[in-house]
Structure 1
Amino acid sequence: MTKVHQYIFIFLASLLTFGCGEFYKLEKSTNWDELYEAANRYYDEGEHNKAIILYDRVLPVIKGSGKAELAEFNYAYAHFRTKRYIEAAEYFKTFFDTYNRSPLAEEALFMNAYSLYLDSPDFNLDQRSSKEAVNAIQLFMNRFPESDSYERAISMIDNLQKRFEEKAFEESKMYYRLTEGLFPGEFYRACIVNFQNFAKSFPDSDYNEELAFKLVEVSAAYAERSVFDKKEERFSQSLDFAKDFMKKYPESKYLETVNEIHAESKEKLDDHYDIKEKYEARTAEALKIREEEKKNQEATEALKKVGN
């Protein structure tokens, strides 16, 4: 190592030692003005972790004073800059609730929503925090409809809604896969309910055509595997789903298959009606015979009583 490099190394080490020593002294200091200025300085220099530590010490002391507003705003942002989004969201919301007339209030409420948005998970994970983010974004949009950040907020909601849609679609596919098991009955019913709910929740989704086809397919299979007394109702429902599909998606790649399922379901329903009609006829005939036998028995007993 050359002497020049040695001098540079010693100089940098001295700066680091001085900086650490200065911060250590500040941590122990009770000079609140000094702590306040140092916290702001560290924040401005991008030393957000150090700023947070000093703000933690000074904020309880300056609360209610003229210095508190900027300090609390910086404190929230320092958490945001260090990617502590849940804490940042909480502090931005607290700032807004405390200083709702401040020139910084609009930005604070937006950052509350944005922090929650950044913390929201991918579509394949639990979306409860995403729903909290949507509520926060809507609160911002309702409170500041003229904000420059309004369109950005709309795009955030659109992105979150897409995650909800992807999550719901994955759940629908899961139910569909479960119908291939040994005991598919309950999963057929779950699919029918789930597919219909998806269409209601996401009427403009690109997935609706595929799920509408699967609804026809699943409902027909469910009807075929149903007990006799339920076949008529469930085949009729399947036919209705098929008619709705043909009307809504006349150019669909699934149309030929839907037509085939519709024809098969119609044939099976007609067969069911024939069997039902024959069964009812036999039942009526058996009932008639029993009634006649009962009458004959009653007449025979009456004659015996007369003879006695």
Structure 2
Amino acid sequence: MFKTRLSLITFVLILIGLSSCGRFQKLLKSNDYEEKYAMALEFFENEEYNKTLQLLDQITPIYRGTDKAQNIDFMYAQCHYGQKDYILAGYYFKRFYQSYGKSDKAEEALFLSAYSNYMDSPRYSLDQETTVNAIQELKLFISRFPNSEKVAEAKQLIDELESRLEYKAFQMAKLYLKMNDFKAAISSFSAFVKQYQMSDYHEESMFLIVKANYEYALNSIEMRQTERFSETSEAYVDFVSQFPESKFLKEADKMNNVASSYITKQVVEIK
């Protein structure tokens, strides 16, 4: 009895689904653009974004230049956003802002364009081009709408994204060191401490500049070692002057002692 009732319910649901699908296909073939517009609004309200987009694709050319065009274009971007297609959402929100700069939706469109880039921004280990774009878009939003209630949120998002770029730069420099590409490590850590002077990784980066120079000297041919041990000692002095109580000081002292001893030995031999 229960199985029979369940089968009947399933059958009815299938019929309803087929009927609904049939009506939608009929609507797509129709030339009644007002009905298509009305149904697009209804589907959008019900979060049926795929059906909404199919209808909007058909009616967009018909209503271009009319009072409905602005609403259609904004809804088109919103559908992609609702589908979590942030690349297309960002593109269409930005295009809306560029097309309707004086619209009462312009502020929201520019913010959502930036926010779509934020949502599409990958984890730090991947390429960060989208992250950079998101930061630029958020800064553009703040510049164009400085009194917006979204400014505080935009600034918070910028901080988060810049922290991601900072962490990636730090990890990339560490990777060079791990791969024994000491020259690249020295260059990367030096650029990092210059760009991110207030970073939580500043102290460690200064220490790793010492270490990278030290390892570079150890692994150099003899005729280049004096020069590179001298650079190790210079990096050590810079590190200690900024972080005299550093937790890395003991290890840095050992490296500097080796570097200083080597330099002293070379001076004595020359004499």
Place the TM-score, normalised by the shorter chain, in its bin. over 0.9
The Cα offsets for residues 245-287 of structure 1, whole Å up to 9 and x where unpaired, read as 112112211112212222221221111122233xxxxxxxxxx
Trace 1:129-144 onto structure 2 (pairs within 5 A): 129-144=130-145
- Does 2:194 align with 1:200? yes
> Is the 8 Å Cα contact of residues 231 and 272 (structure 1) preserved in structure 2?
no
The Cα offsets for residues 61-86 of structure 1, whole Å up to 9 and x where unpaired, read as 11110001111111100110011111
In the aligned structure 1, how far is the partner of 2:251 from the partner of 2:90?
51
Look up the SS of the partner of 2:148 in the other structure: coil
Which amino acid is 2:206 matched to? Answer: A
Look up the SS of the partner of 1:204 in the other structure: coil
Trace 1:290-305 onto structure 2 (pairs within 5 A): none
In the aligned structure 2, how far is the partner of 1:85 from the partner of 1:53?
18
Query: Which one of the candidate residues 256, 261, 265 is aligned to 1:262?
Result: 256
Return 5+ residue gaps in structure 2 as ranges: none
1:130, CA displacement in angstroms?
A: 1.3
CA gap of 1:21–1:224, structure 2 versus 1, over 3 A, is closer
In the aligned structure 1, how far is the partner of 2:142 from the partner of 2:97?
14
1:159, CA displacement in angstroms?
A: 1.5
In the aligned structure 1, how far is the partner of 2:105 from the partner of 2:55?
22
Trace 1:148-167 onto structure 2 (pairs within 5 A): 148-167=149-168
In the aligned structure 1, how far is the partner of 2:20 from the partner of 2:156?
43
Query: Which one of the candidate residues 243, 246, 249 is aligned to 1:249?
Result: 243
1:5, CA displacement in angstroms?
A: 5.7
Which amino acid is 1:275 matched to? Answer: E
In the aligned structure 2, how far is the partner of 1:178 from the partner of 1:14?
63
Using the TM superposition, name which of 16-25 and 57-66 deviates more: 16-25
Which amino acid is 1:108 matched to? Answer: A
The Cα offsets for residues 205-263 of structure 1, whole Å up to 9 and x where unpaired, read as 22222222121122123234444554443222211111111121122111122122222
Q: CA RMSD in A?
A: 1.9
1:9, CA displacement in angstroms?
A: 4.7
Query: Which one of the candidate residues 206, 211, 214 is aligned to 2:205?
Result: 211
1:164, CA displacement in angstroms?
A: 1.2
Query: Which one of the candidate residues 227, 230, 234 is aligned to 1:240?
Result: 234
In the aligned structure 2, how far is the partner of 1:4 from the partner of 1:218?
75
Counterpart of 2:68 in structure 1 is 67
Counterpart of 1:45 in structure 2 is 46
Counterpart of 1:76 in structure 2 is 77
1:4, CA displacement in angstroms?
A: 6.6
The Cα offsets for residues 286-308 of structure 1, whole Å up to 9 and x where unpaired, read as xxxxxxxxxxxxxxxxxxxxxxx
> Is the 8 Å Cα contact of residues 224 and 231 (structure 1) preserved in structure 2?
yes
Return 5+ residue gaps in structure 1 as ranges: 180-186, 278-308
Which amino acid is 1:191 matched to? Answer: A
Counterpart of 1:272 in structure 2 is 266
In the aligned structure 2, how far is the partner of 1:172 from the partner of 1:40?
51
> Is the 8 Å Cα contact of residues 40 and 71 (structure 1) preserved in structure 2?
no
The Cα offsets for residues 129-180 of structure 1, whole Å up to 9 and x where unpaired, read as 111111111111111111111111112111211221222122112111122x
Counterpart of 2:182 in structure 1 is 188
In the aligned structure 2, how far is the partner of 1:20 from the partner of 1:124?
44
Provide TM-score, normalisation by structure 2. 0.92
The Cα offsets for residues 79-136 of structure 1, whole Å up to 9 and x where unpaired, read as 1001111111111011101111011000000000111111111111111111111111
> Is the 8 Å Cα contact of residues 226 and 262 (structure 2) preserved in structure 1?
no
Q: Could you say which structure has the greater relative contact order, defined with CA pairs below 8 angstroms and 6 or more residues apart? A: 2
Look up the SS of the partner of 2:259 in the other structure: helix
1:8, CA displacement in angstroms?
A: 4.9
Which amino acid is 2:197 matched to? Answer: P
Look up the SS of the partner of 1:89 in the other structure: helix
CA gap of 1:224–1:17, structure 2 versus 1, over 3 A, is closer
The Cα offsets for residues 184-216 of structure 1, whole Å up to 9 and x where unpaired, read as xxx221111111011122222222222221211
Provide TM-score, normalisation by structure 1. 0.82
